[in-house]
Amino acid sequence: MKRTWVVAGLMCLSFAVQAETFLIENVRIFNGVDANLTPGHVLVNDGIIARISQDPIDAPDGATIIDGGNRVLSPGFIDLHVHLTGHAPANQTYSHATVAGAIAADVARHFLDSGFTTIRDAGGTHPDLARAFELGTLYGPRVFPSGAILSQTAGHGDWRHQDQPHPTLEGGSPYLFSGQVVIVDGVDQHLMATRENLRNGATQIKIMGGGGVMSQYDPIYSLQPTPSEIRAVVQAASDWGTYVLAHAYTSEAIRRLVDNGVRCIEHGLLIDDATAKYVKEHDVVISTQLVVYRALKDLPGITQTNLDKLDVVLKGQENLIALIKKYKITTGFATDLISGMYPLLTREFTERAMYWTPAEVLMQATSESAKVIRMAGRLNRFGNFGEIREGWVADLLLINGEPLEDISVLRDPDKNLALIMQGGKIIKNRL
Ligand SMILES: [Zn+2]
């Protein structure tokens, strides 16, 4: 009796989740890996790219046919360095989590509407927000959250005003700014904070691995945290099959991080030739960003201390790009826009095209970033994406114009993204 009931229940379920099928005909495919376009047709079934063919595909029963009109079909874009909850204005007088969360919903909408079907949150955003997008409660990209950023006392994440008491020394919580950063010192606290992030649903762990621009009291040259503290975080992360990304600028900081198991360096602007070579030999990623550094000086609320530090790191940007090219270091596509600067997102495409070909920039924003995301191992519960390949997740964009010749078409997604598909679901259809 009971068994019959269960079977009937499963049958009902199979009706409820009936697979959606789309046949996208007559497109030129940029597969995320090759610099050329291949004419063809793509069948999407139940969220997955089921078939790619140069010959016409017979539409299965019930399939929705989409005429691509000879447009370019690209994998959805990926940004490796986003702070969804970091967009309250820098000169704010309000900092409650409610405000940061409400603004984050706008930021998320902007990303998905600009063709970014996946982002890696480089710290601050609670993994619950990622779950809300996944379940369809909120509109936004697929998020790989890092949870609270780990920072040592007096580190780049120690955003207290000078006269604000220490969060734990004064007997409070180690979390600052509505849980966006956690102040940790010593091996035990690093282990504990990493494990707490993983328990909450972080897919990778972010640490502040050296001095930063937007904090007031840590010099750019400062080394953060100690080798044993870094190893503790790396150990706790790798015990869950995932990796650590670290904010760092200088060669000394980067070398310490790489030596102790960090797999992804964020920013890296002051790296020298020998360290870049060392990074490549250790198969470590340098995820860097262009637009934000060029736009920060105009940010309302930026202090003279911030500007002085910005001046120091910005001088290294062209050298870093040359070294990434020289040693073919994996870099992906990342923006790190903060404090309301997210409308500058698509400017990153054209800024990069000053140094790389449009095809190379598109590979960074698709297959190369996806490779970095997959370093999360089994904590990636979404399958493979970032390339147009049979059996991979159907994150697809139909683009008006010729992005491989003129990438600036991506600056205007409302006009030039004719179709946005995420996980086999149509998000926008302007055909
Ligand atoms: Zn950042």
Cα(113)–Cα(190) distance, integer angstroms: 37
Ligand 1 centre to CA of 385 (Å) is: 23
Is 183:150 a contact under the CB 8 Å cutoff? no
CA distance readout (Å), 245 to 85, 107, 149, 178, 254: 18, 22, 10, 21, 11
Is 201:222 a contact under the CB 8 Å cutoff? no
Place of tokens 């250790």: 282
Ligand 1 centre to CA of 48 (Å) is: 32
* CATH fit for domain 77-352, picks 3.20.20.140, 3.65.10.10, 3.30.360.10, 3.40.50.720: 3.20.20.140
Task: Give the residue from 211, 213, 210 showing the smallest Cα distance to 305.
Answer: 213
Ligand 1 centre to CA of 96 (Å) is: 20
Tell me the average pLDDT across 157-185: 92
Residue 309 corresponds to which amino acid?
K
Cα(422)–Cα(140) distance, integer angstroms: 10
Phi/psi of residue 270, each to 5°?
Answer: -105, 25
Ligand 1 centre to CA of 203 (Å) is: 16
Helices 317-326 and 273-281: crossing angle in degrees, nearest 10, is 40
Cα(74)–Cα(116) distance, integer angstroms: 11
Please state whether the predicted TM-score (pTM) of the whole model is above 0.85. Answer: yes
Model confidence pLDDT, tens digit, residues 253-302: 999 999 999 999 999 999 999 999 999 999 999 999 999 999 999 888 88
CA distance readout (Å), 266 to 74, 236, 262: 26, 20, 11
* CATH fit for domain 18-75+387-429, picks 2.170.150.20, 3.40.50.1100, 1.25.10.10, 2.30.40.10: 2.30.40.10
Gap between the terminal Cα atoms of the chain: 51
What does the domain layout of the chain look like in residue ranges?
18-75+387-429, 77-352
Ligand 1 centre to CA of 208 (Å) is: 9
CA distance readout (Å), 350 to 108, 114, 117: 21, 14, 19
Give Cα 183 distance to the centre of its chain: 23
Tokens of 367: 């297959």
What 8-state DSSP symbol labels residue 124?
S
Model confidence pLDDT, tens digit, residues 353-390: 999 999 999 999 999 999 999 999 999 999 999 999 99
Model confidence pLDDT, tens digit, residues 13-57: 444 445 799 999 999 999 999 999 999 999 999 999 999 999 999
